[in-house]
Amino acid sequence: MRNRLISTLFFLLFIRAALSGQGTYYGPGYQTIIMYNPAFTGCEENSMLRLSYLNFFPGNHFNLHSVYISYDSYFPALNGGAGFYLANDYLGGIINDIRGGLSYAYFFQAGKNLYINAGLSAALYHRGFNFNGAILPDQIDPLGTVTAPSGEILTNEGRTIFDVGTGFLFISGRFFGGFSISHLAEPVLSHAGSSSDKLNRKLQLHLAGDFNLNGKSDFRIRPLVTAGFQKDFISGGIGAVVESNYLSVNAVLLTDNKMKMDIHTGFSLKRGRLMIFYNYTFNIKSGNLLLPTALMHQTGAGLSLNNVEKRRGAGTINLPEL
């Protein structure tokens, strides 16, 4: 009962405020990139199947989990890339968000060494509720025990919305960068139409490079910068991935306009067509006393299914293994 009470209080006071009108944050990496920027669809030389599992605030019994799967590839008949993604965010046993979408990117050459991908995504977003067994504030007495049933009536009725997004990717020499806008129509996730449940438009920026460290392509560093803007929330990150043919390690410093500072770090192992990875995010500075130090565990795998025939008029990149 004590753990259940603490979890409910944390969810009501922090998680609900953080997720209201926002989507679950999957971290700064590229393993879930086509969900945020459809222009990355099919941009790699191989078709890719990606799997991710995320555990938020691990060790605190908050029961916040996400699973993600995506597939994307280049298709010559489409002159671009196409793919799909599915994601399930299980938030404390009270909210469950299920997202599924299709993405397409059109590839074209804009200059001698400049390639541009223009992407579009369409998705269904379902938010379900389960308030059975939930503890609401008016049920908690001054001594911290649970009293009579709540006077607030909550419904378990969910809501499904249609969501669209767009993005662009620019590739030139050793550098690539892109930007995307999610939730273009700003759909509302509640039947009541409350502005607090609106998915606000989100602008995201990505920039990365690729530099060989030993004069060959088997040992390289990939510096990267990322930024996000959603309503009155601004976030950013800067870091690098050091890669060899079999192993990569990464570290990214994250901050936002709430004066929070986090470190996102991890590694990946690659053998043949299979890549497995692990990332860990922890907080080093925060103005919120309820925020645990351990923020997120992420693990998963990427599987290259087949080689895509090299195409004219389109640039290909190898995404950082982050």
pLDDT tens column, 82-131: 999 999 998 777 788 899 999 999 998 888 889 999 999 999 998 887 76
* 322: in domain: no
Closest to 265 in 3D by CA, of 249, 276, 254, 277: 249
* 320: in domain: no
Alpha-carbon distance of 147 to 145, in angstroms, equals: 6
215 burial (CB, 10 Å; 0-12 / 13-18 / 19+) is exposed
CA atoms within 13 A on the CB side of 17: 9
Alpha-carbon distance of 50 to 70, in angstroms, equals: 5
* 262: in domain: yes
Mean pLDDT across the stretch 291-315? 79
- Residue 308 predicted with pLDDT over 80: no
Q: Which amino acid is at 89?
A: D
Alpha-carbon distance of 178 to 206, in angstroms, equals: 5
Alpha-carbon distance of 28 to 228, in angstroms, equals: 10
* 321: in domain: no
- Residue 309 predicted with pLDDT over 70: no
CATH number of the domain bearing residue 102: 2.40.160.60
User: pLDDT tens digits for 224-243?
Assistant: 999 999 988 999 999 999 99
Alpha-carbon distance of 277 to 298, in angstroms, equals: 8
Determine which helix (DSSP H) or strand (DSSP E) holds 33, and give its type and residue range: helix 33-36
Alpha-carbon distance of 304 to 50, in angstroms, equals: 9
* Range of the structural domain that residue 6 is part of: 2-307
* 38: in domain: yes
**CB 263, CB 254: distance < 8 Å:** yes
* 283: in domain: yes
Rounded to two decimals, the pTM is 0.83
Phi and psi at residue 239, to the nearest 5°: -175, -160
* 318: in domain: no
Tell me the average pLDDT of the chain: 83
Q: What's the total number of domains in the chain?
A: 1
pLDDT band at 214 (very low <50, low <70, confident <90, very high): confident
Alpha-carbon distance of 102 to 92, in angstroms, equals: 27
Pairing of strands 159-172, 247-256: unpaired
Provide the CA 5 distance to its chain's centre, in angstroms.
29
Query: What pLDDT is recorded for position 129?
Result: 74
Q: How far is CA 257 from CA 26, 233, 235, 287, 297, in A?
A: 19, 7, 7, 11, 23
* 119: in domain: yes
- Looking at the DSSP bridge assignments, the partners of residue 318 are none
User: pLDDT tens digits for 258-286?
Assistant: 888 999 999 999 998 899 999 999 999 88
Closest to 67 in 3D by CA, of 96, 106, 105: 96
